[in-house]
Amino acid sequence: TGNMKFNQQEPQEELPCAVPKGTSVFTFTNVDDKNGIIFYLSCNEGTTTWSNGFMSGSINVSSSTIQRGQRSMVVDHTFNDQVFFTKNEPGSWVQISLPRHQVVPTCYVFSQRAAVKDFFPRTWTFEGSTDGQKFTVISSHNGDQSFTEAAQTAAFPVRCQEAYSHFRIKLAASGNSRKTSALVVSCFEIFGTLKAK
Protein backbone atom coordinates (compact mmCIF):
# COMPACT_ATOMS: atom_id res chain seq x y z
CA THR A 1 0.00 0.00 0.00
CA GLY A 2 0.98 3.63 -0.25
CA ASN A 3 1.61 3.88 3.49
CA MET A 4 4.02 0.96 3.70
CA LYS A 5 7.09 3.05 2.87
CA PHE A 6 6.53 5.15 6.00
CA ASN A 7 6.83 2.11 8.24
CA GLN A 8 10.03 0.85 6.66
CA GLN A 9 13.37 1.61 8.27
CA GLU A 10 15.79 3.36 5.95
CA PRO A 11 19.31 2.07 6.64
CA GLN A 12 21.57 4.45 8.51
CA GLU A 13 25.27 4.69 7.69
CA GLU A 14 27.49 2.61 9.98
CA LEU A 15 29.68 5.48 11.13
CA PRO A 16 32.75 5.02 13.34
CA CYS A 17 32.50 6.22 16.93
CA ALA A 18 34.27 9.54 17.49
CA VAL A 19 34.18 9.12 21.25
CA PRO A 20 36.74 6.73 22.78
CA LYS A 21 35.84 3.79 25.01
CA GLY A 22 35.66 4.77 28.66
CA THR A 23 34.29 8.26 28.06
CA SER A 24 31.99 9.40 30.85
CA VAL A 25 31.25 13.08 30.08
CA PHE A 26 29.49 13.92 26.81
CA THR A 27 29.28 17.58 25.83
CA PHE A 28 26.82 18.97 23.30
CA THR A 29 28.38 20.97 20.45
CA ASN A 30 25.73 21.01 17.69
CA VAL A 31 22.65 19.10 16.55
CA ASP A 32 24.60 17.22 13.88
CA ASP A 33 27.48 15.97 15.98
CA LYS A 34 27.93 12.31 16.75
CA ASN A 35 29.31 12.83 20.26
CA GLY A 36 26.24 11.93 22.30
CA ILE A 37 25.48 9.09 24.65
CA ILE A 38 22.94 7.33 22.40
CA PHE A 39 25.46 7.26 19.54
CA TYR A 40 28.20 6.02 21.90
CA LEU A 41 26.04 3.19 23.27
CA SER A 42 25.02 2.30 19.71
CA CYS A 43 28.75 1.85 19.02
CA ASN A 44 29.01 -0.72 21.84
CA GLU A 45 30.50 1.93 24.14
CA GLY A 46 32.99 3.18 21.57
CA THR A 47 34.33 -0.20 20.40
CA THR A 48 32.49 -0.71 17.08
CA THR A 49 30.92 1.24 14.25
CA TRP A 50 27.36 2.49 14.82
CA SER A 51 24.51 0.00 14.76
CA ASN A 52 21.03 1.09 15.86
CA GLY A 53 20.97 0.68 19.64
CA PHE A 54 17.33 -0.38 19.73
CA MET A 55 18.01 -3.16 17.22
CA SER A 56 21.08 -4.34 19.17
CA GLY A 57 19.37 -4.16 22.57
CA SER A 58 21.65 -1.57 24.17
CA ILE A 59 18.76 0.96 24.20
CA ASN A 60 15.05 0.38 24.73
CA VAL A 61 12.37 2.55 23.15
CA SER A 62 8.70 2.55 24.08
CA SER A 63 5.77 4.85 23.46
CA SER A 64 2.22 5.43 24.57
CA THR A 65 1.01 4.30 21.11
CA ILE A 66 2.36 4.03 17.56
CA GLN A 67 0.48 5.55 14.66
CA ARG A 68 3.28 5.24 12.14
CA GLY A 69 6.93 4.19 12.00
CA GLN A 70 9.23 1.92 13.98
CA ARG A 71 10.65 2.50 17.45
CA SER A 72 14.19 2.13 16.09
CA MET A 73 13.71 5.47 14.28
CA VAL A 74 13.62 7.22 17.65
CA VAL A 75 17.34 6.48 18.14
CA ASP A 76 18.64 6.82 14.57
CA HIS A 77 21.75 8.99 14.31
CA THR A 78 20.93 11.08 11.24
CA PHE A 79 17.68 12.84 10.45
CA ASN A 80 16.50 12.10 6.89
CA ASP A 81 13.00 10.79 6.20
CA GLN A 82 12.05 8.99 9.42
CA VAL A 83 8.36 9.09 10.24
CA PHE A 84 7.60 8.00 13.79
CA PHE A 85 4.66 9.40 15.70
CA THR A 86 2.07 8.39 18.25
CA LYS A 87 -1.67 8.32 17.83
CA ASN A 88 -3.58 11.53 18.44
CA GLU A 89 -4.36 10.75 22.08
CA PRO A 90 -3.90 13.01 25.14
CA GLY A 91 -0.86 12.16 27.24
CA SER A 92 1.24 10.87 24.30
CA TRP A 93 4.82 10.03 25.18
CA VAL A 94 8.00 8.46 23.83
CA GLN A 95 10.48 6.86 26.24
CA ILE A 96 14.15 5.99 25.86
CA SER A 97 15.57 3.55 28.43
CA LEU A 98 19.16 2.51 29.08
CA PRO A 99 19.25 -1.03 30.53
CA ARG A 100 22.84 -0.87 31.82
CA HIS A 101 23.46 2.84 32.36
CA GLN A 102 22.30 6.04 33.99
CA VAL A 103 22.78 9.61 32.80
CA VAL A 104 22.93 12.94 34.60
CA PRO A 105 21.64 14.96 31.63
CA THR A 106 22.85 18.38 30.49
CA CYS A 107 21.15 18.52 27.08
CA TYR A 108 18.81 16.50 24.87
CA VAL A 109 18.13 16.68 21.15
CA PHE A 110 15.42 15.28 18.91
CA SER A 111 14.07 15.67 15.41
CA GLN A 112 10.67 15.92 13.79
CA ARG A 113 9.32 14.72 10.45
CA ALA A 114 10.84 15.78 7.14
CA ALA A 115 7.94 14.99 4.82
CA VAL A 116 5.31 17.02 6.69
CA LYS A 117 6.60 20.23 8.19
CA ASP A 118 3.96 20.53 10.87
CA PHE A 119 2.77 18.87 14.08
CA PHE A 120 5.72 20.48 15.89
CA PRO A 121 5.72 19.97 19.66
CA ARG A 122 4.91 23.19 21.48
CA THR A 123 4.03 22.16 25.03
CA TRP A 124 5.70 19.14 26.60
CA THR A 125 7.79 17.89 29.50
CA PHE A 126 11.12 16.08 29.49
CA GLU A 127 11.14 13.60 32.33
CA GLY A 128 13.52 11.17 34.00
CA SER A 129 13.04 8.00 36.03
CA THR A 130 15.19 5.43 37.78
CA ASP A 131 12.61 2.63 37.51
CA GLY A 132 10.55 3.47 34.39
CA GLN A 133 7.42 3.92 36.50
CA LYS A 134 7.74 7.10 38.57
CA PHE A 135 8.94 10.08 36.52
CA THR A 136 10.36 13.43 37.60
CA VAL A 137 10.02 16.49 35.37
CA ILE A 138 13.50 17.63 34.31
CA SER A 139 12.29 20.49 32.09
CA SER A 140 8.98 21.93 30.93
CA HIS A 141 8.21 23.60 27.61
CA ASN A 142 5.15 25.78 27.21
CA GLY A 143 4.50 27.24 23.76
CA ASP A 144 8.05 26.39 22.70
CA GLN A 145 8.80 27.62 19.17
CA SER A 146 12.10 25.75 18.65
CA PHE A 147 10.75 23.54 15.86
CA THR A 148 9.85 25.26 12.58
CA GLU A 149 9.82 24.41 8.89
CA ALA A 150 13.46 25.55 8.77
CA ALA A 151 14.49 23.82 12.00
CA GLN A 152 13.48 20.16 12.10
CA THR A 153 16.02 19.29 14.82
CA ALA A 154 16.43 21.18 18.10
CA ALA A 155 18.56 20.98 21.23
CA PHE A 156 17.39 21.67 24.77
CA PRO A 157 19.88 22.33 27.59
CA VAL A 158 18.69 21.17 31.02
CA ARG A 159 19.76 21.60 34.64
CA CYS A 160 19.72 18.31 36.49
CA GLN A 161 21.69 16.82 39.38
CA GLU A 162 20.09 13.38 39.38
CA ALA A 163 21.04 10.29 37.35
CA TYR A 164 18.26 8.54 35.43
CA SER A 165 18.10 5.48 33.18
CA HIS A 166 14.69 6.25 31.63
CA PHE A 167 13.87 9.47 29.78
CA ARG A 168 10.49 10.48 28.44
CA ILE A 169 9.17 13.22 26.21
CA LYS A 170 5.53 13.71 27.18
CA LEU A 171 3.32 15.95 25.05
CA ALA A 172 0.58 17.97 26.70
CA ALA A 173 -2.96 17.42 25.44
CA SER A 174 -3.35 19.36 22.16
CA GLY A 175 0.33 20.21 22.61
CA ASN A 176 1.55 20.32 19.01
CA SER A 177 1.37 23.09 16.41
CA ARG A 178 -1.83 21.61 14.94
CA LYS A 179 -3.43 21.56 18.41
CA THR A 180 -3.58 17.77 18.39
CA SER A 181 -1.92 15.25 20.71
CA ALA A 182 0.22 13.31 18.20
CA LEU A 183 3.87 13.31 19.24
CA VAL A 184 6.54 13.13 16.51
CA VAL A 185 10.04 12.05 17.61
CA SER A 186 13.12 10.76 15.81
CA CYS A 187 16.90 10.86 16.29
CA PHE A 188 16.81 11.36 20.05
CA GLU A 189 20.19 12.09 21.61
CA ILE A 190 21.28 12.95 25.13
CA PHE A 191 24.39 14.53 26.63
CA GLY A 192 25.73 14.63 30.16
CA THR A 193 27.55 12.26 32.52
CA LEU A 194 27.22 8.54 31.80
CA LYS A 195 27.36 6.08 34.69
CA ALA A 196 27.14 2.30 34.78
CA LYS A 197 24.29 0.91 36.89
C-alpha–C-alpha distance, residues 43 and 51, integer Å: 6
Longest dimension (CA), the chain: 48
pLDDT at 4 over 60: no
pLDDT range class, residue 59, cuts 50, 70, 90: very high
Percent of the chain scoring above 70 in pLDDT: 92
C-alpha–C-alpha distance, residues 73 and 133, integer Å: 23
What is the model's pTM?
0.90
**16: Cβ contacts below 8 Å, ≥ 6 apart:** 43, 49, 50
pLDDT range class, residue 158, cuts 50, 70, 90: very high
Task: Tell how many helices (H) and how many strands (E) occur in the chain.
Answer: 3, 9
pLDDT range class, residue 10, cuts 50, 70, 90: low
DSSP per residue, 2-70: TTHHHHSPPPPP-PPPSS-TT--EE----TT-S-SHHHHHHTTTTTS----HHHHTSSEEEES--SBS-
- pLDDT average, residue stretch 116-137: 93
The Cβ-side half-sphere exposure at 99, using a 13 Å CA radius, reads: 10
